[in-house]
Amino acid sequence: MPEMNPQPCKTDQSEVLSLFARHSFEQHFQTNSTLLLHGEPADAVYLVASGTVRCCTIDADGSRQIFSFQRKGEVVGITDMDYWHFTAEAVDHVIVKSMPKSILEQELAVNVALRHEIRAWVRGLLAERERQLLMLSKSKGPDRLLHFLQDYAAKRPTSGFVVLPMCRRDIGDHIGLSTEAVSRAFSHLKRAGLIELKSCEKYRIVDDPKGNLAALPNIKPV
């Protein structure tokens, strides 16, 4: 079973934040609007100042895989490709700091500390992808949801109830379950005493001293 309570990767971003402070401008995106679109020129880098951004790939038949939810303080769009290989959309009202990609490339050529920060960011991103692939390949439905909820809560500043900005469909497209399977997984986790639900979007992780996780049923993806 994959690690169910991974610690968020923390890296120093002082150089990145300083660069955005000097060279970026603010943009606002309403719910479900597009920040960047697959196939368009990759000419900017974004720092999320507020809200949540979903990063996803969509295949020819319309199937969607959300590979990350980027939140305040996280960067979207660092790539060496000329065109976007994914799409980024606003989950809720999003404010980003936008900076031309050329500025980042120029600074990387002369700023060693910035290069170290970007490498650390990429390493953390790859580690998260590896955990996600392992979770998708080996975990049962409720395990996948619990893994996501634990990871999301670990990155929040509060120890109380956590608010989910994304809908059940977004969660399903991230953890490989249908919307209905996500709803069933929430119900199973609640009945097993592993989470508390204050409302559809507010939850709290509960410790599992009785080993309820091992008894969770297998919920099929679709």
Annotated domain spans of the chain: 14-129, 139-215
Higher pLDDT, 4 or 125: 125
Q: Is the pLDDT of residue 38 over 90?
A: yes
List, for residues 42-86, the tens digit of each pLDDT value.
999 999 999 999 999 988 888 899 999 999 999 999 998 999 999
Question: Which pairing describes strands 44-50 and 94-100: parallel, antiparallel, or unpaired?
Answer: antiparallel
Residues 40, 46, 51: CA angle, nearest 5 degrees: 110
pLDDT band at 40; cut points 50, 70, 90: very high
Judge: domain 14-129, CATH 2.60.120.10: yes
Class of domain 139-215: mainly alpha
pLDDT at position 210 over 70: no
- Which residues are 103's β-sheet partners? none
User: How many whole angstroms separate alpha carbon 154 and alpha carbon 165?
Assistant: 15
For residue 146, pLDDT over 80 is answered with: yes
Distance, in Å, from the CA atom of 177 to the CA atom of 154, rounded to the nearest integer, reads 22
Tell me: pLDDT of 23 over 50.
yes
pLDDT of residue 2: 38
